[in-house]
Amino acid sequence: MWSHYSNSHRGLCIGFETIIDHNSLCIKADDPILNNHKDSIYHGPLSINKVKYQSNCPEPYDFILSDANHLYEFFKTKNVDWQYEKERRIIMPYKDINKRLIRFEKSALKEVIFGCKASAEFKQQLFKLIKDEYTSKSCNVDILQCSVDRNEYRLNIIEMH
């Protein structure tokens, strides 16, 4: 997924510690605006949904006749060609996100994995952010680096110090 979602290996991947809440995999949110939202789905943990992979396209969403649950199912569906990704998604209405960052509990962040082509400047910025916002507040975050394996079609991920 690095080439698709991480600017061709120039970005990063973040790993979270998840919890189970009401039989759903979730991440602990820490967002005062969402916690005060009128819709109870935003109060507390945010549900992480498994993507459903299938060979046929889902039914188109009808904005007039369909309900929100049908739209969520549409957003959770991808072609079977992408099944190797084992993707999960947090799905929220755009109007509720309102171009804001969604905040999560600091203790939920467990790892940052840099892509193979992440620049030294980018890494330095992230190291500083993690030190200032996490490590200094007793939150342990592993910092890892991807590299292309020279013998196999795979990525090696090693810890950075």
**What was the pLDDT predicted at 45?**
80
- Cβ-contact 8, 117 below 8 angstroms: yes
pTM, two decimals, is 0.73
CA dist 88 and 26 (Å) reads 11
Model pLDDT for residues 81-118, shown as the tens digit of each residue: 989 888 888 877 666 666 566 778 888 899 999 999 99
Residue 86 phi/psi, 5° resolution?
50, 45
Q: Which of 64-73, 93-102, 128-137, 139-148 has the lowest mean pLDDT?
A: 93-102
Domain parsing of the chain, residue ranges: 2-48+90-159
